[in-house]
């Protein structure tokens, strides 16, 4: 049994880096770009994020399983990296989920010293965007940059995308920004508030 589990573990680690190339360059896929201002945020920290669909009553869950867009920040081998000045662009190509509005529901960061359980999901504000196949959605770190507007970061990210993939593919894609939205979250008990998987959130 131990040998069997070891083989499974080895297989998972061996196939994971190949994930980056599965969808790269396919205009029917969904793309998430994380723009990081490296002068203000430690770009050596891996960021993991989950975006869950928003329902008809403007609610979304902290964890939504296979329905989520999951940004795997645990290895730079699974996405493309473009550096432009102080900005780093981590570009992840994904299989499209159901068309609609998605909210940033949870996230963690990994420092050089090991895992951190810091909650990156919504407290009073989350980030939302309409996602579908052919969409490139940009989210900026640190997240407080939403106060500075979106047009500049979107323009920079589009230029980085063009630099990496060329003008022809860039023209085929629709570029959008994750935008800040006020939110209220409910929890089963006080302890759960400190966990990554909060119960349910509602856009105000």
Burial label for 177, CB within 10 Å (0-12, 13-18, 19+), is buried
Task: Pick the more confident residue, 189 or 122.
Answer: 122
- All residues at 6 or more sequence positions from 155 whose CB lies less than 8 Å from its CB, including other chains: none
pLDDT band at 38 (very low <50, low <70, confident <90, very high): confident
Instruction: Give percent of the chain above pLDDT 90.
Output: 41
- All residues at 6 or more sequence positions from 53 whose CB lies less than 8 Å from its CB, including other chains: 60, 64, 67, 68, 97, 98, 100, 101, 102
Q: Where are the domains positioned within the chain? A: 2-203
- All residues at 6 or more sequence positions from 169 whose CB lies less than 8 Å from its CB, including other chains: 25, 27
Residues 118 and 126: their CA atoms lie apart, in Å, by: 15
**Which tokens go with 93?**
């190509």
pLDDT digits (tens, 9 = 90+) for 116-170: 555 566 778 889 999 999 999 999 887 766 666 688 999 999 999 999 999 999 9
Q: Is the pLDDT of residue 32 over 70?
A: yes
Residues 198 and 24: their CA atoms lie apart, in Å, by: 32
């Amino acid at each position: 049994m131990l040998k069997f589990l070891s083989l499974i573990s080895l297989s998972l680690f061996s196939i994971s880096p190949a994930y980056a190339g599965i969808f790269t360059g396919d205009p029917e896929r969904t793309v998430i770009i994380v723009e990081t201002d490296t002068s203000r945020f430690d770009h050596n920290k891996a960021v993991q994020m989950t975006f869950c669909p928003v329902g008809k009553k403007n609610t979304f869950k902290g964890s939504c399983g296979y329905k989520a867009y999951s940004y795997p920040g645990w290895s730079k081998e699974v996405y493309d990296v473009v550096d432009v000045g102080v900005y780093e662009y981590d570009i992840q190509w994904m299989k499209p989920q159901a068309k609609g509005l998605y909210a940033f529901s949870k996230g963690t960061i990994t420092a050089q010293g090991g895992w951190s359980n810091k909650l990156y999901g919504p407290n009073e504000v989350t980030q939302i965007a309409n996602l579908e196949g052919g969409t490139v959605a940009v989210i900026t770190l640190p997240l407080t940059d939403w106060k500075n507007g979106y047009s500049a970061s979107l323009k920079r990210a589009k230029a980085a995308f063009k630099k990496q993939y060329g003008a022809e593919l860039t023209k085929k894609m629709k570029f959008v920004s994750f935008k800040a939205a006020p939110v209220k979250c409910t929890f089963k008990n006080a302890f759960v508030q400190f966990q990554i998987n909060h119960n349910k959130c509602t856009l105000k």
